[in-house]
Amino acid sequence: MTERRYDYDLFVIGAGSGGVRAARRASEAGARVAVAEESRVGGTCVIRGCIPKKFLVYASQFGEAFEDAVGYGWSYDKASFDWPTLIANKDREIARLEGVYRSNLEKSGVELINDRAVLAGGHEIELKRTGTTVSAERILISTGGRPNPHRALHGHELCITSDEAFELEKLPEKVVIAGGGYIAVEFAGIFATLGVETTILYRGKEILQRFDMDLRRLLHAEYENKGIHIRCQDVLGRIERKSDGWLRGTFLGGDCYDAEQIMLAVGRLPNTEGLGLEKLGIRQDKRGSICVDEYSKTNVEYVWAIGDVTDRMQLTPVAIHEAMCFVDTVFCGRPTKPDYGSVATAVFSQPELGTVGMTEDQARCDIDNLAIYKSVFRPLKNTLSGRSERMLMKLVVDADTDKVLGAHVLGPDAGEMAQLLGVSVKMGVTKSDFDRTMAVHPTAAEELVTMYKPSYTVRKGEVVEAA
Ligand code: NDP
């Protein structure tokens, strides 16, 4: 494929979800590929993100399941939970998955180099531990990101981030989580349902800024029903260690709060430090993310970047999609731009949130006539159990074209529903398509196809007709 001027046709820096997929696909397309990883293979998603997080979510859901079981005739003497057992089991499974990633690379013919790789100038890459230099015709940077340590905060070094939360030796009695995004909300649900007194501290007006307001409000209310304290429009001013080992956080408002752990979940930073980007003059934005064009190419002709090291959508499936588009474009002669339209996503809060497409507020800005279909109800399962938790389904519809612009769910299995709603919305589903779809009964999801009348309509941003 390449004149043998270089050691490799493609050198990938970073073996996370995106890097591994690109390396394997390029190798399967006939390229000589190496991937370097200084840490564990699998990246954020497998090692310290999506997968271990989901294990913690599953673990934390059993407490409520035991409570609910009583209404269904079950009784039990005493259920107890052991955090170290969970962490050990989680670690064992993550180690197994890492092994699978390694063997998949091997099976695809990719050379895995366990070393820190940095750009050395031109087409050369320096491997720090061995001190050797290799060359590649093309280079792909997929080094991902890491939690923002929030260095501007006095006492930030006393806090944990999600990285450490996965490794805690014991569950704290009391935790404060700073931030109101995915990670803050997911970990608040995990900690609280495992019995930790939990506070979310968010600088904005309502948690989960990028999501539909109805879901944000209902999740807020349900979190408070679970005993989670949510303090909005405030931030931490400083943190100190007390003599008893606990932490004291002083809010900018002036008052103090003591907690055993304070967790920072205030976004993630791209892993670009010390990568040697300046040697090639690779452009970065002010956050340090690598700037790329629509095909994930940097301003240097033979260097590309994908995943969280670029500032696009920080989601595993998006990084994988970018990887596949990169290989199609560069190694398969099929120029393909990543498609960021109607990306479905889930927040593994409790209750779960699943969503695709426009929020009502976004649609109000762009679309003249909207019909909003909304249903808030107590799922069937919660009747015998006596649980008061509600579920919310919402469709945002363009009233002129009948097109469903956004579908939003808060409640059990919302993430699973979002995956399927994602297919329909991507295909351009109309509200009439929902109406002529037979319900699957009795399910919670059937509510999505039985909301026949709009709850209200919106004209040029204003509600004109409320049900
Ligand atoms: P998010 O961008 O989701 O949230 C960051 C939060 O921190 C926001 O609430 C933001 O406030 C707040 N914040 C930022 N800077 C400061 C500051 N200086 N002081 C106080 N608050 C601040 O990031 P996360 O860290 O939660 O997650 C990173 C990314 O990882 C997510 O964006 C998501 O793409 C991905 N992820 C996906 C998951 C999933 O798919 N289920 C799960 C976990 C992560 P504001 O809203 O005002 O900007």
pLDDT in tens, 386-444: 999 999 999 999 999 999 999 999 999 999 999 999 999 999 999 999 999 999 999 99
Q: Is 235 in the pocket of ligand 1 (CB under 6 A)?
A: yes
Ligand 1: atom nearest CA of 313 is 34
Q: List domains and CATH numbers for the chain.
A: 8-147+269-330 (3.50.50.60), 156-266 (3.50.50.60), 345-465 (3.30.390.30)
Cα of 266 from ligand 1 centre, angstroms: 5
pLDDT of residue 296 exceeding 80:
yes
CA distance 286 to 282: 13
Q: Across the chain, what does the average pLDDT equal?
A: 97
- In angstroms, the CA 155 to CA 104 distance is 42
pLDDT higher than threshold 80 for residue 71: yes
Write down the H helix ranges in 29-138.
Answer: 43-48, 50-71, 83-107
pTM above 0.95, yes or no: yes
In tens, the pLDDT along 133-189 reads 999 999 999 999 999 999 999 999 999 999 999 999 999 999 999 999 999 999 999
φ/ψ of residue 274, rounded to 5: 70, 15
| Polymer length of the chain | 467
18 is in an annotated binding site: no
Q: Would the annotation count 68 as a binding residue? A: no
Active-site residue 229, yes or no? Answer: no
Catalytic residue among 154, 156, 229, 441, which? 441
Question: 259, 177, 164, 266: which is closest to 223 by C-alpha?
Answer: 177
Map residue 277 onto helix, strand or coil: helix
For residue 1, is pLDDT > 60? no
- 180 a known binding residue? yes
User: Ligand 1 within 6 A of 181 CB?
Assistant: yes
> 123 near 136, Cβ under 8 Å?
yes
Q: What confidence category does residue 78 fall into, taking pLDDT thresholds of 50, 70 and 90?
A: confident
* Ligand 1: centre distance to CA 185 (Å): 9
Distances (CA, A) of 41 to 147, 172, 322, 463: 18, 29, 19, 51
8 A C-beta contact, residue 173 and residue 191? no
Does 203 sit in the ligand 1 pocket, CB within 6 Å?
A: yes
